[in-house]
Structure 1
């Protein structure tokens, strides 16, 4: 029988031979071999998201030689490859105090010069919508300006450890299996791949938030007078669409609309789960397109672009010196080692029911579900004094690991489910990248492990580089 004759995709059937950890139940011996070293650096960053790029740039500005290893063909991660073209407010929850600057704002300034940014004032959903393609090129230029080596289309394969010290990483390139040597490493992979394989303790949330495949559509203006979210609610079952949440933003200076309306329940930290998620995300995008073409034909929608990678909210987390809790976020706890400030609300994309819950620092709560009226309530009683922002401590970036020359940055840092639902957005994670880059410099300069970096020096170094330390 042809592989394509089965109603079950061949790679899903083949996946039955795989274990839960995404590895074959059988084994093949790979002979040991010496790997050619293709680069030798002070710092190697695994993952070329904006978090990873900002870590690299901060370190390079402080004088380190830096490499970025990115398995895709461009930098930017979710902001570019996954088409999520909005960043959130640099102000506190009541829009009175500026709480971050740094490289996030520098990059927005560069995009503004090209007319590639649209701005909103006092909006809790987003402050900037940008052109993801323009951002890809700006990131290339930013990295080149700082002498950073971008290893694109290079896959991190595993840590290289000598005498109990992390000394390099094995990578798969177009030329074969090779090695990159460095004195310090930052894991900005999103899933904690380096931390996990280097022996750091990791864990998974009991209910991880689903992934979303975004897409660019043309002709969206034709839906201006249409309750398209109501159409998704009414007819989603007909097209096999799970009920979830839908939003989007126009791409500046274009006719394209970025839609985020899919809901994919797969574990993207495994090979089989990741593959299934990509295919299911694209299927749902087409289903949405077909639904709107059927029930809003006058709009004449066209599908313009699909993401190079599905947008992942959560997979595994790495155990660090401090686990940030939802209580610390919602009550705005201050930390003496704070390296990031955020005001984006707790945003829980439920795994067990449709819609999402927004939880605000002022004690209010909103359950939002497409096609239905918002349900407003409170998660705590009203108060005359409320926190207006929360903080992320440096300790939540330092893995409990046998290797002192390793830091975490990005959505897999140590945070419980409620804290993660707020801090995971890009403007917050960008700040963790900047902090990790500065900390790597201080650790190497002072010849200390990551856990012993001088915290006052770290915060002052970040402030001198343009960050806001509160």
Structure 2
């Protein structure tokens, strides 16, 4: 059973038990960077006003790389970014092919053609998570575009609900919007360069790394920048392109008896030599578009967060983050239950 509100309270308890000092409702707003690229402090803003946090090691897990950008770490923003999605918990849509239904009535509600997905929630309630739409062309690392995308994503949810109310009136009594995501679901913004760029070839062929800190099995999953839908590439060589009106299977490699069971992420994809006390964790780590499509999901990104925390502890003695003893890092991760192969 999964109850995300109960999970929030439990995570609060874990924070307390670990003696971590959290700062809720606090925004990062800049950094003091030394001439050698070392971060000396980050500036924050909250109800108390402007403040600074000094530390020996910093982890940027903002997703958009806000601190790494201020450290002058090079990055790119691709022209064909994977578009963001506003998710919603909705009851009353069970049994409806929402992809087909949405596209049949989209013109009437001034929303673009699209192809998303939905899934049940293992909590016993008749509620499903719907991620049916995308906000195309939005770079949500830009403040104005983020604001517009948030509002447009919510408009898509309202349009979807109104379609059902108008064309399936028998569903009105059951139809209920229980929850919207706290922010739009960002898939991709800034892509930072590190000591190693993970490639799609390394992912799909299961390349092994001596400094591996995470393992993954999730398929390459790239959402189309326009028109909705996505392409999946599996480790066993299958490939499927899903659009609002089609599902086309093919193969990206010939059939074989020798498929990798998983792929790895190297620690080098999280650090830079010119940022000696910075670690980049989460979806901003260095990967090409194909590899990024596979590793960007929570089950893999969570592992990079744990690795970043362990590596930061090992670097407290002043060791540059890119020179952390990876054998010791992997040993610590293994002791915590991570599978290190």
Q: Same fold (TM over 0.5)?
A: yes
Q: Is the 8 A contact 1:231 1:295 kept in 2?
A: no
Query: What residue in structure 1 maps to residue 85 of structure 2?
Result: 212
Match of 2:176 among 297, 302, 309: 302
Measured after TM superposition, the shift of residue 218 of structure 1 is 2.4
Aligned to 2:162: 290
Unaligned runs of 5+ in 1: 1-116, 118-129
Distance (whole Å) between structure 2 residues aligned to residue 212 and residue 399 of structure 1: 31
Matched, 1:448 2:307: no
> How far is the alpha carbon of 1:449 from its aligned partner?
0.2
The answer to whether structure 1 residue 131 and structure 2 residue 3 are counterparts is: yes
- Give the 3 Å change call, closer, same or farther, for CA 278–343 of structure 1 in structure 2: same
Task: Give the alignment partner of residue 314 of structure 1, picking from 188, 192, 201.
Answer: 188
Provide the residue aligned with 2:203 in structure 1. Answer: 329
User: Per-residue CA shift, 1:368-405, capped at 9, x if unaligned?
Assistant: 224x34211111211121112111000001135x3311
Unmatched runs of 5 consecutive residues or more in structure 2: none
Q: Distance in 2 between the 1:227 and 1:199 partners?
A: 47
**TM-score, structure 2 normalization:** 0.94
How far 1:431 sits from its partner (Å)?
Answer: 0.2
Cα deviation, residue 269, structure 1: 0.6
Would the aligned equivalents of 1:228 and 1:292 in 2 still touch at CA under 8 Å? no
Residue in 2 that maps onto 1:462 = 333
Return the alpha-carbon distance in structure 2 between the equivalents of residues 322 and 244 of structure 1.
Answer: 35
| Structure-1 residue corresponding to 2:311 | 439
Structure 1, residues 26-58: CA drift from partner, whole Å, max 9, x if none?
xxxxxxxxxxxxxxxxxxxxxxxxxxxxxxxxx
Distance 1:231 1:461 in 2: 50
Partner of 1:346 in structure 2? 220
Once the two structures are superposed, the pairs formed by residues 135-284 of structure 1 within 5 Å of their partners are 135-162=7-34, 164=36, 165-220=38-93, 223-224=94-95, 226-251=96-121, 252-265=123-136, 266-284=138-156
Residue 223 of structure 2 contacts residue 231 of structure 2 at CA under 8 Å; is this kept in 1?
yes
Query: In the superposition, relative to structure 1, how do residues 405 and 453 fare at CA in structure 2: closer, same or farther (>3 Å)?
Result: same
Q: Secondary structure at the match of 2:56?
A: strand
Cα distance in 2 for residues equivalent to 1:287 and 1:417: 31
Instruction: Note if contact 2:211-2:268 (Cα within 8 Å) is conserved in structure 1.
Output: yes
CA contact (8 A) 1:318 1:399 kept: no
When the two structures are superposed, what TM-score results if normalisation uses the length of structure 1? 0.69
**Residue aligned with 1:152, SS:** coil
Looking at structure 2, the residues matched to 191 and 163 of structure 1 have their Cα atoms a distance apart, in angstroms, of: 24
Q: How does 1:83-98 map to 2 (within 5 A)?
A: none
Question: d(CA) in 1 for partners of 2:73 and 2:230?
Answer: 32
Equivalents in 2 of 1:243, 1:395: separation in Å?
A: 40
Distance 2:12 2:180 in 1: 21
Any idea what SS the aligned residue of 2:42 has?
strand
* Structure 2 residue 237 is the aligned partner of structure 1 residue 368: no
Q: Report how many aligned residue pairs link the two structures.
A: 336
Matches of 1:319 and 1:219 in 2, distance apart?
Answer: 45
Matches of 1:210 and 1:240, distance apart in 2: 18
- Matched residue SS, 2:85: coil
1:67 is matched with none
CA distance in 1 between counterparts of 2:78 and 2:7 reads 32
SS of residue paired to 2:55 = strand
- Residue 215 of structure 2 aligns to a residue whose secondary structure is strand
